[in-house]
Copies of this chain bind each other. A is one copy, B any other.
């Protein structure tokens, strides 16, 4: 019975979040996240390998993603592997694997992009702290309450 199914990712979004509002107040966001690994092959050449991950976020987290994330955003993610199975038109068994995100946090750069249309003075770079979004997990610490279960206020 006891099992562990944990995924930890740190990477960048390949596109803006795709958000769908479903009936019954449900919201789902799909993100495409790239994790890139670089190493030297045996000829000493630098090689980069990128893996693309399909992320799925629900409800409160989906809303936060919609509001603060966009193409290029760097995020840290915790979640679990979850696969859908079905039979396709050819009668073949199919399986699609995605990451169900349990919590995430933006890292590095301010969430903006739009938010800072005139970054002319160099120091404006770090100036506006602009509260980076974190969904519950924060320091990996708290009880990791799913935002689904939390009240509906944005955490900032």
Given A37-B138, A102-B144, A107-B108, is A6 in contact with B9 using a C-beta cutoff of 8 Å?
A: yes
State the copy count for this chain: 4
List the B side residues contacting A45 at CB < 8 Å.
none
Q: Is A87 an interface residue (CB 8 A)?
A: no
Whether the pair B141, A144 counts as a contact (CB closer than 8 A) is no
**Residue contact B37 to A105, C-beta cutoff 8 Å:** no
Q: Is the CB of A11 within 8 A of B7?
A: no
Expressed in whole angstroms, the Cα–Cα distance for A18 and B34 within the complex equals 30
**Interface size in chain A (residues, C-beta < 8 A):** 66
A128 lies within 8 A of chain B by Cβ: no
Min Cβ gap A105→B in Å is 4
**What residues on B are CB-neighbors of A35 within 8 Å?**
3-5, 139-141
Given A1-B12, A1-B132, A125-B119, check contact A140 B6 (CB 8 Å): yes
> Does A76 interact with chain B (Cβ within 8 Å)?
yes
A residues contacting B by CB (< 8 A) are: 1-12, 34-39, 48-53, 74, 76, 80-83, 90, 95-97, 100, 102, 105-109, 113, 116, 118-120, 122, 125-126, 131-134, 137-146, 148-149, 155
